[in-house]
Amino acid sequence: MRIVVKVGTSTLAHPNGLLNIRRVEELCKVLSDLKNAGNDMILVSSGAIGMGVGKLHLNSRPRDVASKQAAAAVGQCELMYTYDKLFSEYNHTVAQLLITGSDFESKDRYDNFINTMNKLLEFSTLPIVNENDTVATEEIKVGDNDTLSAMVAVSIHADLLILLSDIDGLFTADPHKDRDATLISVVSEITDDIKKLAGDKGTTLGTGGMKTKIHAAEISTANGCDMIIANGSDPKILYDILDGKSVGTRFLKKRV
Ligand code: GLU
């Protein structure tokens, strides 16, 4: 299988922006194992800005563009350094791909991205994608990695997109506010009612939220790729998913 896994900042970092070492170590171990089992694994990783915030000892995520871009430049190094180190322990070579929305709009750049990605997979590397936050301004950026990961999954014809989040999946109501909220395990069609279930608040360090996840599901399922939202607090959940267990919320691809 060709699997794209997206991890959000809230999964990778503590609330203060510093690396959640135990979580990231476990994530790299599980991804390495799934790759050893013969799967093509592609990671879409957030965390550049969040980790930059931690490393620069800023009190909170900055609001102005230049500071966010500077934080991303610092944090992206930290991220890739960490991934390179941890995946090396399992003999896997990582590759960094930083892209923006405009790269998907230009045919040449889109083709180049796909060619590079295919070559990296042929070389048996583990590609790690993030938005190129240091140059991506409002007009050209995708803006959130949920959407970006769906665009990546579709472009390389992935079999499955998994969004690891700080929530178990999509609920019938906000589980933080409503004790009767239940997890929806399968969504076969993204109706207006499903879209209404998504609030739009993310965490303080990340950018996403359920709204961007539903948007990602729309892109992914419309283009032949199932998508799962699952809780990334224990990355071993990826084993359950590949074992076919019902985990989180699965959005089924549209049948044609
Ligand atoms: N590209 C951003 C970062 O690495 C994250 C975007 C997102 O959280 O969706 O900080």
pLDDT digits (tens, 9 = 90+) for 140-199: 788 899 999 999 999 999 999 999 999 999 999 888 888 888 999 999 999 999 998 886
Q: Distances from the Cα of 160 to the Cαs of 148, 218, 223, 226, in angstroms?
A: 14, 14, 11, 5
Phi, psi of 3 (to 5 degrees): -125, 130
pTM beyond 0.75, yes or no: yes
- Per-residue pLDDT averaged across 71-86, rounded? 96
Nearest CA to ligand 1 atom 5: 46
The preferred substitution site among 145, 146, 152, 210 for testing ligand 1, maximizing ligand atoms within 8 Å of CB, is 145
Tell me: pLDDT of 244 over 90: yes
Q: Which helix (H) or strand (E) holds 247?
A: none
Instruction: Kindly state the percentage of the chain with pLDDT values over 90.
Output: 77
The Å distance, Cα 98 to ligand 1 centre, comes to: 11
The Å distance, Cα 49 to ligand 1 centre, comes to: 7
Q: Which helix (H) or strand (E) holds 22?
A: helix 21-36
User: For residue 203, what pLDDT is reported?
Assistant: 46
Residue 35 banded pLDDT, cuts 50, 70, 90 = very high
Q: How far apart are CA 64 and CA 49, in angstroms?
A: 12
